[in-house]
Amino acid sequence: MEIKKLLSSHITTNTKEIKKNSIFIAINKGNDYIKEAIEKKAKYIISEKKYNHKKVITVKSTKEFLSKLGQEKRNLYNIPVIAVTGSCGKTTTKEFIYEFLKTKYNVLKSIKNYNNHLGVPLTLLNINENTDIAVLELGMNHLKEIASLSKMCKPTCAVITNIGTAHIGNLGSKKNIFKAKMEILEGMTNKFLIINEQDKYLKKLKLKKSNLKFKKIKYYKTKTKFILELKKIKYSVIFNIPGKHMLKNLHIAIKVAIHHGIEIESIIKTIPQLKNEDGRFKIFKKEITLIDDCYNSSYEALKESLKYLKTYKEKKVIILSDMLELGKFSKQYHHKINRLLKKITNKEVYLTGEYTKYIKGKHFKNNEELIKNLKINKNDIIFIKGSNSTNIKQVSEHIKQKYNLTT
């Protein structure tokens, strides 16, 4: 069967989305739903399990099959593709880039944080004749993963947000993390790269400095004000997302937008409208202030957030769960958090998880116990962060509900 011929059909990995004549690709547990796919009248079912039916095509790896489909789809369209990788800030930067580009183009973007061997090809399959440009997120937890994703989506512009310690458990060193991120160039012919010029590791690339400057930066609790200077012309800007790290993501996103022909006036108009994604340093303010950073955690991301917290005089309730995937570095990086916490006065630290035992504070067996013992007063600043799979979101959901916090 010629793979290309399948591309004109609707392709899905979810039986709930099957329409008549869809192609169903059975990934992992999907292999148990072949009967349902047949009943729903899928045109073909691509499976790893043998199944005696004329519509079922057995392949060795359905994931590889999906990757090939995504790659073939990409090859059909000669459009610019921006690929964003980095240890943290991928989703945020991708969303900022999207907001700028969509003022001029029909943009395809990765859904949520679909950034792996399933998410990237599934996104590529959504390219169509109306797509002017695509902005994708590429993630990894092993060497060679970004290389293969890059070869699949063939970026025309690569972005690396930073080199941190996320996944150092697998990668072994920051040097290897740097190497892994640089693999983004492997699927590119022009090797055009946009980076955070302040990143310690990325600086070493000695790329030509951008002429986009942020000057007179003033950080406030809920926003950042600065003067944007481009080719000697100055613009006064309000960015309604606080935090130095978020400003770095913005700087990158603007460079990408300018490179793709977005007028600076349009960029200036868009900046005040940018919002954080859920769980990524999102601030809710009522009788208490909640800084919901519970989507994920890594040493660098937590460090940035704790630096920001220092600016509050009010009582800070800091709730942390584990930073995962640090392997043999787990103890070291959790231990280092103590130094950052020490600089924050007027605080209470609540902890849950296996590795937070290296952090000084009140320790709890699980989220439920933590919630039961949580003491929050009016005007307190509540900060919540942890790796996504620790489900620390449960605590932030509880607080949002109790204090009726919505955006």
Q: Nearer Cβ to ligand ADP, position 128 or 198? A: 198
CB of 2 to ligand ADP, least distance (A): 36
CB of 16 to ligand ADP, least distance (A): 26
Q: Nearer Cβ to ligand ADP, position 249 or 330? A: 249
Q: Nearer Cβ to ligand ADP, position 113 or 126? A: 113
Q: Going residue by residue from 304 to 323, which x/- string records binding to ligand ADP, judged by CB under 6 A?
A: x-------------------
Residue from 248, 251, 260, 347 in contact with ligand ADP (CB under 6 A): 248
Residues 10 and 89: their CA atoms lie apart, in Å, by 32
SS3 string, 23-76, reads: EEECCHHHHHCHHHHHHCCCCEEEECCCCCCCCEEECCCHHHHHHHHHHHHHHH
Q: Which stretch binds ligand ADP (CB under 6 A): 22-30, 81-89, 172-180, 362-370?
A: 81-89
Check if the beta carbon of residue 107 is closer than 8 Å to that of residue 79.
no
Residue from 63, 260, 280, 347 in contact with ligand ADP (CB under 6 A): 280
Beta strands in 48-151 (DSSP E): 56-58, 81-85, 107-109, 133-137
Farthest-apart Cα atoms in the chain, separation = 69
Residue from 30, 70, 89, 155 in contact with ligand ADP (CB under 6 A): 89
Residue from 254, 291, 301, 309 in contact with ligand ADP (CB under 6 A): 301
Q: What are phi and psi of 169, to 5 degrees?
A: -55, -45
Residue from 15, 62, 92, 165 in contact with ligand ADP (CB under 6 A): 92
The residue count for the chain: 407
CA–CA distance from 360 to each of 92, 333, 337 (Å)?
30, 13, 9
Q: How many CB atoms lie within 10 A of CB 203?
A: 13
CB of 75 to ligand ADP, least distance (A): 26
90 binds ligand ADP (CB under 6 A): yes
- Residue at shortest CB range from ligand ADP: 89
CB of 401 to ligand ADP, least distance (A): 21
Residue from 9, 31, 103, 113 in contact with ligand ADP (CB under 6 A): 113
Subset of residues 130 to 169 that bind ligand ADP, contact rule: CB under 6 A:
161-162
CB of 329 to ligand ADP, least distance (A): 17
Nearest to 98 by CA among 233, 273, 300, 236: 273
Residues 8 and 190: their CA atoms lie apart, in Å, by 29
Residues 305 and 314: their CA atoms lie apart, in Å, by 16
Burial grade of 55 (CB within 10 A; 0-12, 13-18, 19 or more): middle
> Element (H or E) spanning 254, and its range?
helix 244-259
CB of 293 to ligand ADP, least distance (A): 4
8-state DSSP, 210: P
CB of 304 to ligand ADP, least distance (A): 4
Q: Nearer Cβ to ligand ADP, position 42 or 399? A: 399
Q: Which amino acid, 151?
A: K
CB of 277 to ligand ADP, least distance (A): 6
Q: Which residues pair with 214 in a beta bridge?
A: 228
CB of 282 to ligand ADP, least distance (A): 9
Residues 220 and 246: their CA atoms lie apart, in Å, by 13
Q: Nearer Cβ to ligand ADP, position 73 or 167? A: 167
Residues 73 and 23: their CA atoms lie apart, in Å, by 15
Q: Nearer Cβ to ligand ADP, position 76 or 205? A: 205
Q: Which stretch binds ligand ADP (CB under 6 A): 8-16, 241-249, 336-344, 360-368?
A: 241-249
Q: Nearer Cβ to ligand ADP, position 30 or 164? A: 164
**Which spans of this chain sit near ligand ADP (rule: CB under 6 A)?**
86, 88-92, 113, 161-162, 245, 248-249, 280-281, 293, 295-296, 300-301, 304
